[in-house]
Structure 1
Amino acid sequence: MTDLRIADVRITPIAFRDPPLLNNAGCHQPFALRSIIEVETEDGVIGLGESYGTKKLIEAVEALAPGLRGVAVTDLNALWAKARESVVGNLTGYMGQEALLPRVVAAVEVAMWDALGKALDRPLCDLLGGKVRTKVPFSAYLFYKFAGHAGEEPDDWGEVLTPEQLVGEAERFIDTWGFEAIKLKAGILPPEEEIAGLEALRARFPKAPLRIDPNGGWTVETTLKYLPRLEGLVEYLEDPTVGIEGNARVQARTGIPLATNMYVVAQEHLPPNMKHDAFRVILSDHHYWGGLKASRDLAEICRIWGLGLSMHSNSHMGISLAAMTHLAAATPNLSYDCDTHYPWQTDEVIEGGKLRIEGGCVRVPDGPGLGVTLDRDALKRLHRNYVACGYTHRDDETEMRRHWPDWTFERPKF
């Protein structure tokens, strides 16, 4: 193999249809934004990555790209160093101020790994330490939702705002994709109603591992009030309230493991988390931890400290899901079924259409690198969507008020 050096880095923003899914921050917009990253080497190998589609991230990758020419695809230290030189500021996103630097690194790093895997004719999971599982389990990711976007006809999922409708949504997920674990996005309706939804799910699916995610939407007092109903009902409770110290107060009062993808999202959050014993399950996300190597490092920290480990998700396409699957396949201490929004997405940017989910699992894609190929026609079409929709960032709050005009964002809300 010749020394693989980067000749060009390209980023293409895309937009694809997204249902009106609800969360503590509001409602999903009609289009979700992502970006497709291509790292092309001097000898013509093209590695693929996928990341967020916000304007600031796109501009940051574009600013970084010229400095990466001539860098070896194996030189992750150079990637971080050059990103530190060029990336300025943070993103304003779903969790407030979100660190831009690791998100930019992750966007490019996955594509560098993919290029290396293709050049070596090895699947990416082999480069991350070796495959410990051939298929990766994911959970049914349930959302409350409106029947359709404001001003549009109802979608084929329809409204989900009651326990009965929630059970119907779960039945469709399980009948279609075979999921075993079930996760409920919460923090939208009064907690009493959301826990009643969980209890309806338990009645319908008595053996399914359940979890609930209020997205920091409950106060400490509200969470403590409902702990007795959650004991024995959920396998973990995700981000019930705000901050490390607030969640530590909850964890001290329950044997239910608390999980997070909001308050332990960088290495500097780990020491205070261990000090306060706030979260016992970390939901990693290679998109914001700084890529695949950083996520494997996190997995080793979790192993050493006895923390549970799984994966967080956002609205994504098949390149992201393939990267998650390779990472999970090479992570021995994956404790819980991973999250994915993938069933909610109807479009795709890879050849052959959507990756298959069978028995609640995604098989590690065959082929070198990520094992997926970019569909150039789909990329052009989805980029046209991006230009036409006019969105440059995610804004769940404004979208929510198109349905509930008096709604206001609060965290905690209940």
Structure 2
Amino acid sequence: MGTNSTAYDDDRRHVFHSWSAQATLAPLVVNRAEGSHFWDSSGKRYLDFSSQLVNANIGHQHPRVVEAIIEQARKLTTIAPFHANETRSEAARLIAAHAPGDLDMVFFTNGGAEATENAIRMARLTTGRHKILTTYRSYHGATGGSIVLTGEPRRWPSEPGIAGVVHFHGPYPYRSAFYADSVEQEGERALAHLADTIMLEGPSTIAAVLLETVVGTNGILVPPDGYLAGVRELCDQHGILLILDEVMAGFGRCGEWFAADHWGVVPDLICFAKGVNSGYVPLGGVILSPQVAETFATRPYPGGLTYSGHPLACAAAVGSIRAFEEEGIVEHARMLGTDIIGPELAKLAANHPSVGEVRGLGVFWAIELVRDRETRAPLVPFNAAGPDAAPMAAIAAACKERGLWPFTHFNRVHVVPPCTITADDLREGLAILDEALTVADSFTTA
């Protein structure tokens, strides 16, 4: 095992990092992690308010999940997906048991982007149509198809891409594209906009509407009550499938097994990854309704992956889901949102002129930062980079200096700690965030 200096030097020489200009990087060398904390090579401890990439839902090094991986490794490390395997079968059964409605079959992938790719393929083959509608403020992955489905700016350099993708505006009451005066009106007008988009694109050409149940990286946008049910109704009216991307919002993150449960909406397909086993071993997948599964009862599904349902990944999922069940982790996450995060962020909003809005569910929250509350001018411009993004970089630095590892995107700080975080650790992190927001306040103009 090399030294920490060697780890850093070898990283800079040989590791090509995602979403980055390589010459600008100075990555933190992380040596260990436990629960809601991790430690760098100097021994400094950080409270993980990012859950890494909003995926470590069960926290770091949960003993039940670690032991499940070790036990599986002793028994069977890998097997081709065309075999049946008890660990894969049990993972699928447990996932299906917690899925909404009658969704009861699982196609395993290695992550969320592959889940999206396969979900749209299934939708197109089931309906015989080609168009996929998805929102501008969305992220669905970085593979060839999923990055085009993505609505936010990370899509731009990869265009042109797959054909048939149409973007539309989803609800965002704080920055309404529909000039709505209330959350209720926002939901109504967003549904009317989607109905118009379907009409103008041609219902008979549309295979699916793909939505993040709660938009994640692009703002923790919680849909107004009735919106998802309205989308479901529009899809049913036109024979369009509804795909919910729960890669980030699922498995406890919103205080439910799946965020769709908060509104009682049942989609045709669900994309999952991240929280299913907190990334201990890469795993994702698609949960299928009987209608979609029936399409491939006697007709081969033209897709697959060498590592689909990998035994080590599935063992991690089984261990994680059982821990969630027995330790009440979903209920704990819900309580943290209603009893601590929501009320405490409301106090921060009252005390800091830079806070325009706070919103979220469970342990899935955003603080939207502004220069002026009256005009709602964002603290940094949309898609800011370099010097334009300096205020957000300063806020992140203030958090890290105090031992808090934040998740920031554009003009927002997201509060997304593990679902297992203790109330005391959560309050400690929020207190640090309170201090760091004084940096944001220094950039306000009103």
TM-score by length of 2: 0.34
More helix by share: 2
Name which one, 1 or 2, has greater alpha-carbon Rg.
2
